[in-house]
Structure 1
Amino acid sequence: MRYMMLVYSNEGPDGLAPEEAERIRAGHRTVMEEATRRGVLIGAEPLAPTSTATTVRMQGGKVLVTDGPFAETKEHLAGYYIIECENLDEAIEWAARIPTACQGREGCIEIRPMRWQRAGAEPASVAENTAR
């Protein structure tokens, strides 16, 4: 089963100290190299800062575009991994290896199973997905 692991961290105005940023980058490299070696890594990408985000909403049938993230929070979505795992327990083991940093604590990883499990699978229509 494929799991998406959403990496949340703190995006402070001053950023991380250079040595802390390098420690986290090195940790990500280690996780990605091991997952690649085991053949379970489907994809992983960091995201640009929230200052680059654009939020799109529909209001009264019109598109409303605003700069920035949807909500003001201390933690932000910093990136993701997609890993093929046997079960949730294995996904939790991988998530525990992913480095992240939140103000004074290590951050968090949200794990979600992905709906379409095999390559070439036909995704359900948008209407079917929103009805679920």
Structure 2
Amino acid sequence: MNQYLLSIYQPDGDIPAPEVLEPIVRDLEAVKTEIREAGAWVFGGGLFPPSTATVLRLKGSEVLTTDGPYVEGKEHLGGFTVIQAADLDEALAWGRKVARAITLPIEVRPLQDGSRQ
């Protein structure tokens, strides 16, 4: 089985009102349960806002530490799920279910396992 990262791209701004967020959370939990029951779940999690990020950057022989995200944008990585799937088509099927549940863009990307060069 291959592993795939399902990245959730979230718009910057305030958290949606409870009447908007609650059905999304409910639908996402249902998809996560389905992924677990299918044996495809590896791990996942939500992330705090980009303002909580710390960036480490090599400059010469020094590693500089700066607050905040590496890039400025109108959206940011809000969370992720790692799944295992037989192939990209299966991973995309799970990604579509997550996109429908969460109503945000989902990027599906294979993880390198060391055997592919």
Aligned pairs for 1:19-38 (under 5 A) are 19-38=19-38
Residue in 2 that maps onto 1:113 = 110
Runs of 5+ unmatched residues, structure 1: 101-105, 117-122, 125-131
Q: State TM-score, norm by structure 1.
A: 0.78
Which one has a larger percent strand, Structure 1 or Structure 2? 2
Name the count of aligned residue pairs.
113
Aligned pairs for 1:1-132 (under 5 A) are 1-12=2-13, 14-98=14-98, 99-100=101-102, 106-116=103-113
- Give the RMSD, CA atoms, in angstroms: 1.7
How far did residue 15 of structure 1 move? Answer: 2.1
Q: Percent identity?
A: 37
Q: State TM-score, norm by structure 2.
A: 0.87
Deviations 1:101-132 (A, max 9, x none): xxxxx43111111112xxxxxx69xxxxxxx7
Q: Which amino acid aligns with 2:4?
A: Y
Runs of 5+ unmatched residues, structure 2: none
Q: Which amino acid aligns with 1:73?
A: G
Rounded Cα–Cα distance in structure 2 between residues aligned with 1:21 and 1:47: 16
Deviations 1:35-76 (A, max 9, x none): 111111011111111111111101121111111111111110
Rounded Cα–Cα distance in structure 1 between residues aligned with 2:50 and 2:21: 17
